[in-house]
Amino acid sequence: MVKSCNPNIKRQDLIDAANEEWRKYRKEPETTIKKQITSSKSSSSTSSSLLSDEILTVTPNAPVQQKSLMQIKDAKAKITEYEYLLTNTNDKDLRYQIFEKLKDARAIIEKEISHLSLLKHHAASQGKYQEKK
């Protein structure tokens, strides 16, 4: 499977890796390909966590970091619910609305993760500055 966990991967490398994977499965029957796609979608949605262990550790005296972490957790819960609804609905308009909400929740997670890492970096810099004094 092609793993896109490296954000700095070059586009051509990603395309080459995807083409390599496709060569493995292109001669398979359509049902096998569909099963592989659905299994990879379900495993990636449950196993790929946008939160790393580093981000999950927040000091108790950092209320802004805790608020950001709570927003991330709420958005992850919404994503799980939206993915469930998306797989179980047949109405195209409803699917589109759910997909848009899913996209918004993912954007919130990305924004809050970057905000949280910025806050952590700032707190670490402040700690080093205080030690120098």
Are residue 12 and residue 74 in the same domain, yes or no? Answer: no
pLDDT given for residue 53 in this prediction: 45
Please report the pLDDT score of residue 42 as a whole number.
60
Per the CB < 8 A criterion, the answer to whether 50 and 39 are in contact is: no
- The predicted pLDDT at position 105 comes to 94
The pLDDT value given to residue 79 = 93
Percent of the chain with pLDDT over 90: 26
8 Å CB contact between 50 and 76: yes
- Does residue 1 carry a pLDDT above 80? no
Same domain, 101 and 113: yes
Average pLDDT score over residue span 62-73:
88
Q: Do residues 112 and 72 both lie within one domain?
A: yes
Average pLDDT over residues 53-64: 67
Q: How many domains are there within the chain?
A: 2
Same domain, 103 and 129: yes
End-to-end CA distance of the chain: 51
Residues 78 and 114 in one domain: yes
Please give the residue range of the domain that contains residue 17. 1-48
The answer to whether residues 23 and 55 belong to one domain is no
pLDDT of residue 21: 80
Taking the whole predicted model, whether its pTM rises above 0.85 is answered as no
21 and 39 fall within a common domain: yes
- Domain co-membership, 110 together with 133: yes
Residues 26 and 3 in one domain: yes
Q: Give the rounded distance of the alpha carbon of 83 from its chain centre.
A: 13
The larger pLDDT score, comparing residue 116 to residue 32, is at: 116
| pLDDT grade for 96, boundaries at 50, 70 and 90 | very high
pLDDT computed for residue 20 by the predictor: 85
CB 75 within 8 A of CB 102: no
